[in-house]
Amino acid sequence: MSPITWFAIYLTIWWTVLFAVLPLGSRSFHELGITPPPGADPGAPVNPNLKRKFITTTWVSAVVFALFFAIVHFHLVTLPDLPAAI
């Protein structure tokens, strides 16, 4: 596969992991009993920690991608074997 294909696969994994990581550790104004500032949603996180979540998403995605790459590169599972593997 071309490097562009591998990069597209990594980005797909990254975005999927991001949506799994985003809600972790988030506490809303409502949960903490804090009155939100005017115009803010009570369900919005008080401190979203986006930098930490992006870093976590990047290393988790790298691990998942490495596993995927190893499976494809070493032919541990081939396309004809997929229906039998599931």
Calpha distance 80→12 (Å, rounded): 23
Calpha distance 39→24 (Å, rounded): 24
Nearest to 48 by CA among 16, 24, 20, 17: 24
- Residue 74 carries which side chain, given as an amino acid letter? F
Give residue-wise pLDDT tens across range 3-59: 999 999 999 999 999 999 999 999 998 888 888 889 988 888 999 999 999 999 999
Which distant-in-sequence residues (6+ apart) come within 8 Å of 61 by Cβ?
A: 10, 13, 14, 17
pTM attached to this predicted model:
0.79
